[in-house]
Amino acid sequence: MNTWQDKEEFKSEFTKKAHILWEKDLPDLTPNEVYQTVAFMVRDLVSEDWIRTNETYAEEKAKQVYYFSIEFLLGRLLDSNLIGLGMEDVCRAGLKDLGWDLDRIIPEERDPGLGNGGLGRLAACFIDSLAALQLPGHGCSIRYQYGLFNQRIIDDQQVELPDSWLADGFPWEVKKVDKAVNVRFGGNAYMRPSEDGGLECVYEKYSSVRAVPYDVPIVGYHNHTVNTLRLWRAEYSREDMYRELSLGDRHRAFHYKNSVQLISRFLYPEDSTEEGRKLRLMQEYFMVSAGLQSIVRYYKKKIKESLYKFDQYIAIHINDTHPALVIPELMRILMDEEGLSWDAAWNVTVRTVAYTNHTILPEAMERWSIPMFKSLLPRIYLIVEELNRRWLAEVRKRFPGDEDKARDVAVLWDGQVHMAHLAVLGSHSVNGVAEIHSQILKDSTLHQFYTCFPSRFSNKTNGVSHRRWLIQSNPQLAGLLDDTIGPDWRLEAKRLIDVEKFSKDPAFLERLAQVKQTRKYILADYIQQKYEVKVDPASIFDIQIKRIHLYKRQLLNILHVLHLYYVLKANPRMQITPRTFLFGGKAAAGYGEAKQTIKLINVVARLVNNDRRIRKQMRVLFLENYNVSLGQLLFPAADVSEQISTAGKEASGTGNMKFMMNGAITLGTMDGANVEIHREVGDDNCVIFGLRANEVMDYYIHGGYSSWNMYSEDADIRQIMNSLVDGSLGNGESFGMLYDSLLDRNDEFFVLKDFKPYCQAQQEIERRYNKRLQWLHSSAVNIAHSGYFSSDRTIRQYASGIWHLKPVKS
């Protein structure tokens, strides 16, 4: 069985399942038990297709891609799976008869927040698209016991609480004990002459960690394809535990047990301490080694082709450098376990692996200290050393005397392992995530590599799943689109372009306005319930939601809010179109400026919201614990999408696409995918401001920017800056760290430089909003052109340009 014929069948299955699971009468079920019951029923529906999909891939020996990512920010799965199976209506009707409302059951699922932000959410959209397009592709990651922290705001400040998302169990996973593998750490590795006259590696005195896979089905859209996300959990190996115990050292035994369990306990353990960094490296190798071992085992058992042909059947993609150890690990397996020569193994490895870069911020470039790397991964280190030796010899031969070049492409340099260099060297394909970002990689960040391997480089502009971010998040808009252009856009997002024909049709625009209004009411209700704050659904909803970071410039936004407040205070008669400024996002626990930014937003919010006169015109709110589910409430309700990073810093952004798809107007800099959004919709349908990337670059290289000059020459800037440190924002609060970054450290992200252009852009937004029909037209144009930003387009480009995959019908 893989559908429920009708609501009657649903009800009877539900009753049976609930009885087995809970041994309770239906009326006594808690909402969470109802959620779990439905989730298990859905899993039953999926299982047949899941098995068949796997069988088909193996029988047809279809080429498959494995997407390795240290993060998968999935969001809730019940709703998306029901939609994928086309069972949402039946389920809703059945539950209704039994006295429950599906919309109240869905929030019972805890968000599996196995990611920090953009990169993790992108991975989730990608596996969604792979299944929707019937492409053979799977995810590989870690089953963290605790996802990204739960954010609370206490006394205006972020407090991080553990996210125990597994507390009530996770109905979507299937533990596969028989597919466990061992991953080895520590010990000694050295080369010795082998019997056949060559060299072989001896690896000894290591300790073993058992990696146990938990598989999650990734359900296609109305197509019977079910791919797999494999999440690895670290367990101690009983053998090793007993060995330690038998040596009589209980301390060592327990130390071993604890350190193993730590590997899959937290997403991104603190990396400001040596201990934390080591754990992070262990996580990376753990995921990579477990994932690769299971792929090679599958290849030998099911594909049964020569390992020299590995890359004809398997593609491995690394989501940033965190899984870059697949390169030396695949070398290890091919050489030490399968007996290939160095050259043969290297050819297979490079042809198999492809790498995506997601950031050019120097501090986010991964580097490991050689002593730590070597002691934790001695065999892998030998391989990295050898590939670096061969590579530098080649470079020095090609470019004699050019030591600058050698430095810029070395994998080992200055006592560190440079992961981005390893990733580029060991991959046949390197891509950035938006046109401007891919260009910057070629021109500067990876320029020397680009001169060595120009054909490896390409661009794949990011995309988002229009299933989650439109069909699922905004059923009201989805329904209007069906009524207007028919339902084809659901299968083929490009068809959204048909909306353009209606973008001047007053009847359509009126309905579009109603949808937006409804979504603003829904959000206002949520805010009322949770914060006991009233926001006015007739005001402009201006939203910035993303990780808190200096380069993303939440500071620019809140300083403009503060400025607007001062202007209104100084001009009691002045009227503006009422605005609701909403913020959401988490700051890294050790990132002082980001945490102070959150505090500043909350302090300014109190100042503004407590002022009886001002609060009729503006409201400010920081929404706690921004995650995928909260995003699903926010994107549909937005009028204005804040995308205001310093040009050249945001690799792509994907929130910008989700807003656009839901009809918000972008207020942004020429950065990341904003550049392409601007190209799609034109100047009339988005508002662009601020320095361009080349101007920012010029300032960095040639100097010439002084934030002190901005401060001394502009009274408005002086006023807001002074208020950061003179205690006038309330309770004598002071924001010294932010003040210093803007003035003493010369405003690395050009907040003050872009301040006035941003204020003008905000006025332009207001002017356009008040031309109601024109605004609605812009909103429609944005929706119409958002089809390009579906991750289906992106994944098709990866599939044809990098992985060479073809769809397989299940």
Q: How far is the CB of 29 from ligand 26Y (least distance, A)?
A: 39
If one asks whether residue 147 binds ligand 26Y (CB under 6 A), the answer comes out as no
Residues 6+ apart with CB under 8 A from 118: 358, 546, 547, 651, 652, 653, 654, 655
User: What are the two backbone dihedrals, phi and then psi, of residue 226, each rounded to the nearest 5 degrees?
Assistant: -135, 110
Q: Which of 803, 706, 800 is nearest to 753 (CA)?
A: 706
Catalytic residue among 461, 654, 666, 669: 654
If one asks whether residue 364 binds ligand 26Y (CB under 6 A), the answer comes out as yes
Total Cβ atoms within 10 A of residue 452: 18
Q: How far is the CB of 553 from ligand 26Y (least distance, A)?
A: 13
Orientation angle between helical segments 78-85 and 31-60, nearest 10 degrees: 50
> Nearer Cβ to ligand 26Y, position 652 or 669?
652
If one asks whether residue 646 binds ligand 26Y (CB under 6 A), the answer comes out as no
Interacting residues with ligand 26Y between 439 and 468 (CB under 6 A): 462
Q: Among 18-26, 359-367, 575-583, 602-610, which window interacts with ligand 26Y (CB under 6 A)?
A: 359-367
> Nearer Cβ to ligand 26Y, position 64 or 359?
359
Residues 6+ apart with CB under 8 A from 655: 118, 545, 546, 631, 635, 641, 643
Total Cβ atoms within 10 A of residue 219: 28
Number of residues engaging ligand 26Y in binding (CB under 6 A):
17
> Nearer Cβ to ligand 26Y, position 72 or 206?
72
Are the C-beta atoms of residues 605 and 579 closer than 8 Å to each other? no
Minimal CB distance residue for ligand 26Y = 118
Q: How far is the CB of 117 from ligand 26Y (least distance, A)?
A: 5
CA–CA distance, 213 with 180 (Å, rounded to integer) = 6
Give the length of the chain. 810
Are the C-beta atoms of residues 84 and 128 closer than 8 Å to each other? no
| Token output for 586 | 């988490």
Give strand ranges (E) for 338-404. Answer: 353-356, 367-369
Q: How far is the CB of 364 from ligand 26Y (least distance, A)?
A: 4
> Nearer Cβ to ligand 26Y, position 368 or 775?
368
Residue 94: enclosing H or E segment and its boundaries? helix 88-98
Q: Among 177-185, 211-219, 222-230, 649-657, which window interacts with ligand 26Y (CB under 6 A)?
A: 649-657
If one asks whether residue 366 binds ligand 26Y (CB under 6 A), the answer comes out as yes
> Nearer Cβ to ligand 26Y, position 54 or 69?
69
If one asks whether residue 225 binds ligand 26Y (CB under 6 A), the answer comes out as no
Catalytic residue among 658, 678, 753, 777: 658
If one asks whether residue 672 binds ligand 26Y (CB under 6 A), the answer comes out as yes
Catalytic residue among 379, 516, 552, 560: 552
Q: Which of 84, 112, 113, 118 binds ligand 26Y (CB under 6 A)?
A: 118
User: Strand 353-356 relative to strand 314-319: parallel, antiparallel, unpaired?
Assistant: parallel
Q: Among 286-294, 358-366, 744-752, 790-798, which window interacts with ligand 26Y (CB under 6 A)?
A: 358-366
Q: How far is the CB of 477 from ligand 26Y (least distance, A)?
A: 23
DSSP secondary structure string, 758-806? HHHHHHHHHHHHTSHHHHHHHHHHHHHHGGGGBHHHHHHHHIIIII---
CA–CA distance, 122 with 128 (Å, rounded to integer) = 10
If one asks whether residue 651 binds ligand 26Y (CB under 6 A), the answer comes out as yes
Q: How far is the CB of 789 from ligand 26Y (least distance, A)?
A: 11
> By CB neighbour count within 10 A (0-12 exposed, 13-18 middle, 19+ buried), where does 610 fall?
exposed
If one asks whether residue 73 binds ligand 26Y (CB under 6 A), the answer comes out as no
Binding mask 88-117 for ligand 26Y (x = CB under 6 A): ----------------------------xx
654 counts as catalytic: yes
Q: Which of 650, 676, 733, 754 binds ligand 26Y (CB under 6 A)?
A: 650
Q: Which of 459, 381, 393 is nearest to 422 (CA)?
A: 381
CA–CA distance, 755 with 739 (Å, rounded to integer) = 15
CA-CA-CA-CA torsion sign (27, 28, 31, 34): negative
552 counts as catalytic: yes
Q: Which of 228, 654, 707, 786 binds ligand 26Y (CB under 6 A)?
A: 654
Interacting residues with ligand 26Y between 45 and 64 (CB under 6 A): none
> Nearer Cβ to ligand 26Y, position 118 or 147?
118
> Nearer Cβ to ligand 26Y, position 281 or 493?
281
If one asks whether residue 359 binds ligand 26Y (CB under 6 A), the answer comes out as yes
CA–CA distance, 125 with 462 (Å, rounded to integer) = 10
Q: Which of 119, 326, 334, 477 binds ligand 26Y (CB under 6 A)?
A: 119
Q: What is the 3-state secondary structure (H, E, C) of 411-454?
A: CEECCEEEHHHHHHHCCCEEEECCHHHHHHHHHHHCHHHHHHCH
Binding mask 399-438 for ligand 26Y (x = CB under 6 A): ----------------------------------x-----
Total Cβ atoms within 10 A of residue 572: 7
Residues 6+ apart with CB under 8 A from 748: 550, 741
Q: Which of 139, 653, 690, 787 binds ligand 26Y (CB under 6 A)?
A: 653
658 counts as catalytic: yes
Are the C-beta atoms of residues 565 and 613 closer than 8 Å to each other? no
> Nearer Cβ to ligand 26Y, position 462 or 557?
462
Catalytic residue among 468, 547, 753, 793: 547
Binding mask 599-638 for ligand 26Y (x = CB under 6 A): ----------------------------------------
Q: How far is the CB of 433 from ligand 26Y (least distance, A)?
A: 4
547 counts as catalytic: yes
Which positions are annotated as active-site residues? 358, 546-547, 552, 654, 658
Residues that bind ligand 26Y (CB under 6 A): 116-119, 122, 358-359, 364, 366, 433, 462, 650-654, 672
